[in-house]
C-alpha cells in the first residue's frame, strides 16, 4: 500500500521517528518507506506551536527513478555562460546533462579565493572590485542566508531544490516550508557544482570578464573575454544585478533594455532573542531562530522587509570604490546574537534623473557614495538608532543592540544619506510594522545604510524564445537581467534558458 498523509502534527521536542508510528497505524503494516514531502512550523497559536508534516509512506520499499533530461540530437556549438551565480551554474549543469559543452566565464574568483578576498575587505577595507560579495563563484547569494523559498510558482522549483540537495545542501531543503542552506554550507555546494561541470565536459574560467559582444545581422557572432575575441553563437547573460559595466557595454551595443523599479533602504538589527519572544512567546529557545516578513502601506509608497537573516550579520557588500553597500548574511546554524533584515521602500521610474535604462544605476551610485562620504570614508557605514531616526535626532551611543557590520560605523542621520521620500515612507511604516511584530520599533534597534542592491535596476528585453529581442543568440537570464528575485527563481530561470537551447538544437 502507498499513502500520502497530510497535516501530521508533532510538538517541537518530539522526534521525527514518531512519524513512523503514525504511518504504520494508517498502513496497518510495518512502514518500509517514508519520505517527508513538506515540513512547516505553525506558530499562529503561541500556546500550541507545532510542526506540520506531509509525508509519503508505504509497506514496501520504493525506488525513485533518476531524473531524465532531453538530450540534443546534433552537434552544438559551445554555449558561453557569463556569470557563475545560481542562474549561470544551474543553466550550465542542465546544459551538460543535455549534451552541451558550456563555457562559464566568471569575472570573479573561485569560491575558495573569494572567501579570502571578502575577509580582507571586511578586516582591512581592501576592496577587490572583481572579487567581492557581489562578484565571484556562486554570485551574491553565496554571502547571504542561502534562502531557497520563493514567491514564484514554477514547476522548475522542485528541480532546483533537488539539485541543491544533490550537491551537498542539507536534505531538508527539499521539504522545509522555508528552506535555507546558510552561507557557510552554500560555499561547499557551489564548489561541488563546479567539480561536476568540469568532470562532465564543461569549462569554467575565473577572472574572465565579458568585456564586449559582436553582432552581425542581428545575431551574436563573437564575445570578448578580457578583451580577447572568441567566435560565439550562443551566450547566456547571467551576470548578476551589480554588473554595471557589462550593462553599459551592452547598452552601447544597442541591446534593448528598459528601466526597472527596485527598492532601497537600510538594514535593521534587533536582538534575535527579542524576535524569538515576539514570534513564539515563552519557550522560543527550543524552536528554530525566528524570522519575519512585513509589508506596510502606511506611507505614500510600499515599504517592506526583505532577505531577513535570523542570527546573522550585516556585511559590507560594495563592488565599486567609494561607495557603501550593505547586505545580510547567516550561517546554517543561525546562532548569532542579532537578527537583521533589509527595510526598504519602492523606487519608481519618476525618481530617476533621465529616461536612460541606466538611470537606476546612477540612482544607486548616488546614495552609495553619500553613505561613503557621510560616514567618513574607509567603507565605514552610516548607522542610527531607530528611535532617534523616528524622533529626528542624532545618535551618540548604542544600547543593547550592537551593529555587526565589520568595516566600522559612524553615527549619521539616515536623512543625510537616503532620499526624503524613502525616509518618510520608512518612518510611516515602522510603527505600522510594530503593530504586527511587537518590538520591531524598539528604540535601540540599529539602522545601517545603505541597502541599495535589492534587485536589478534594469531589464534586458527578451522574447518568447528567451533570446534578446535585439540580438539572436543572446539569452538574458536571472536576477541581473530582470527575470528573477532570489536564489531559487534565478536558478529556475537558468534551467528555463537551458531548456530553450535544447529545443533549439533538438
pLDDT digits (tens, 9 = 90+) for 423-475: 999 999 999 999 999 999 999 999 999 999 999 999 999 999 999 998 999 99
Q: What are the pLDDT tens digits along the chain (506 aa)?
A: 999 999 999 999 899 999 999 999 999 999 999 999 999 999 999 999 999 999 999 999 998 888 889 888 778 889 999 999 999 999 999 999 999 999 999 999 999 999 999 999 999 999 999 999 999 999 999 999 999 988 888 999 999 999 999 999 999 999 999 999 999 999 999 999 999 999 999 999 999 999 999 999 999 999 999 999 999 999 999 999 999 999 999 999 999 999 999 999 999 999 999 999 999 998 898 899 999 999 999 999 999 999 999 999 999 999 999 999 999 999 999 999 999 999 999 999 999 999 999 999 999 999 999 999 999 999 999 999 999 999 999 999 999 999 999 999 999 999 999 999 999 999 999 999 999 999 999 999 999 999 999 999 999 999 999 999 989 999 999 999 999 999 999 999 999 999 999 999 98
Which residue carries 535555507 as its cell?
180
Phi, psi dihedrals of residue 264, rounded to the nearest 5°: -140, 160
By the 10 Å C-beta count (0-12 exposed, 13-18 middle, 19+ buried), 66 is classed as exposed
The CA-CA-CA angle for residues 353, 355, 358, to 5°, reads 80
Distances from the Cα of 407 to the Cαs of 146, 157, 313, 372, 483, in angstroms?
A: 22, 36, 12, 12, 32
Around 333, how many Cα atoms within 13 Å sit in the side-chain half-sphere? Answer: 3
Integer Cα distance of 470 and 254 in angstroms: 7
Quote the cell numbers at residue 465: 524564445
In this prediction the pTM is 0.96
pLDDT value, residue 136: 98
Domains and CATH numbers, the chain: 2-58 (3.30.70.2700), 79-258+458-504 (3.50.50.60), 262-451 (no CATH)
Query: CA nearest 349: which of 411, 229, 260, 246?
Result: 260
In contact, 490 and 479? CB cutoff 8 Å: yes
Which residue carries 563546479 as its cell?
194
pLDDT value, residue 230: 98
Q: What is the enclosing helix (H) or strand (E) of 261?
A: none
Integer Cα distance of 113 and 44 in angstroms: 44
In contact, 54 and 7? CB cutoff 8 Å: yes
Q: What share of the chain is helix, strand, coil (3-state, %, to 5)?
A: 30, 25, 45
pLDDT value, residue 471: 97
Q: At what angle do helices 183-199 and 111-124 cross, to 10 degrees?
A: 150
In contact, 276 and 174? CB cutoff 8 Å: no
Amino acid at each position: 500500500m502507498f499513502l500520502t498523509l497530510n497535516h501530521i502534527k508533532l510538538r517541537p521536542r518530539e522526534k521525527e521517528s514518531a512519524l513512523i508510528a503514525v504511518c504504520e497505524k494508517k498502513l496497518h503494516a510495518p512502514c518500509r518507506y517514508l519520505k517527508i514531502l513538506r515540513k512547516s512550523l505553525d506558530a499562529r497559536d503561541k500556546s500550541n506551536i507545532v510542526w506540520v508534516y506531509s509525508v509519503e509512506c508505504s509497506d514496501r520499499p520504493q525506488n525513485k527513478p533518476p531524473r531524465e533530461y532531453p538530450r540534443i540530437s546534433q552537434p552544438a556549438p559551445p554555449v558561453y555562460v557569463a556569470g557563475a551565480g545560481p542562474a549561470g551554474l544551474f543553466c550550465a549543469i542542465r546544459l551538460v546533462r543535455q549534451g552541451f559543452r558550456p563555457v562559464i566565464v566568471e569575472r570573479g574568483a573561485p569560491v575558495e579565493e573569494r572567501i579570502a578576498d571578502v575577509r580582507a575587505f571586511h578586516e582591512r577595507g581592501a576592496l577587490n572590485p572583481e572579487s567581492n560579495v557581489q562578484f565571484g563563484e556562486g554570485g551574491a547569494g553565496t554571502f547571504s542566508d542561502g534562502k531557497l523559498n520563493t514567491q514564484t510558482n514554477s514547476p522548475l522549483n522542485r528541480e532546483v531544490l533537488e539539485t541543491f540537495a544533490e550537491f551537498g545542501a542539507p536534505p531538508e531543503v527539499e521539504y522545509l516550508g522555508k528552506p535555507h542552506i546558510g552561507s557557510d554550507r552554500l560555499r561547499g555546494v557551489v564548489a561541488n557544482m563546479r567539480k561536476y561541470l568540469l568532470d562532465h565536459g564543461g569549462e569554467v574560467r575565473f577572472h574572465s570578464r565579458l568585456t564586449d559582444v559582436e553582432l552581425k545581422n542581428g545575431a551574436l557572432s563573437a564575445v570578448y573575454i578580457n578583451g580577447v575575441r572568441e567566435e560565439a553563437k550562443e551566450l547566456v547573460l547571467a551576470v548578476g544585478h551589480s554588473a554595471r559595466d557589462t550593462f553599459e557595454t551592452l547598452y552601447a551595443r544597442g541591446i534593448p533594455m528598459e528601466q526597472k523599479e527596485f527598492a532601497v533602504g537600510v538594514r535593521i538589527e534587533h536582538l534575535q532573542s527579542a524576535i524569538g519572544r515576539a514570534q513564539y512567546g515563552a519557550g522560543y529557545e527550543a524552536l528554530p531562530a525566528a524570522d519575519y516578513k512585513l509589508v506596510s502601506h502606511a506611507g505614500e509608497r510600499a515599504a517592506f522587509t526583505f532577505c531577513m537573516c535570523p542570527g546573522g550579520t550585516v556585511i559590507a557588500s560594495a563592488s565599486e570604490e567609494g561607495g557603501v553597500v550593505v547586505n545580510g548574511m547567516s550561517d546554517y546554524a543561525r546562532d548569532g546574537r542579532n537578527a537583521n533584515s533589509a527595510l526598504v521602500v519602492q523606487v519608481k521610474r519618476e525618481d530617476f534623473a533621465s529616461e536612460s535604462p541606466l538611470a537606476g544605476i546612477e540612482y544607486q551610485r548616488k546614495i552609495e557614495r553619500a553613505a561613503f562620504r557621510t560616514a567618513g570614508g574607509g567603507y565605514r557605514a552610516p548607522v542610527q538608532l531607530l528611535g532617534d531616526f523616528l524622533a529626528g535626532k542624532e545618535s551618540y551611543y548604542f544600547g543593547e543592540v550592537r551593529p555587526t557590520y565589520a568595516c566600522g560605523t559612524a553615527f549619521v542621520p539616515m536623512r543625510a544619506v537616503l532620499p526624503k521620500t524613502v525616509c518618510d515612507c520608512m518612518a510611516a511604516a515602522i510603527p505600522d510594522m510594530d503593530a504586527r511584530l511587537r518590538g520591531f520599533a524598539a528604540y535601540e534597534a540599529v539602522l545601517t545604510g545603505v541597502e541599495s542592491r535589492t534587485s536589478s535596476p534594469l531589464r534586458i528585453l527578451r522574447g518568447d524564445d528567451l533570446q534578446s529581442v535585439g540580438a539572436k543568440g543572446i539569452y538574458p537570464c536571472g536576477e541581473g537581467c530582470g527575470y528573477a528575485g532570489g536564489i531559487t527563481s534565478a536558478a529556475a530561470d537558468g534551467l528555463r534558458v537551458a531548456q530553450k537551447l535544447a529545443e533549439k538544437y533538438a
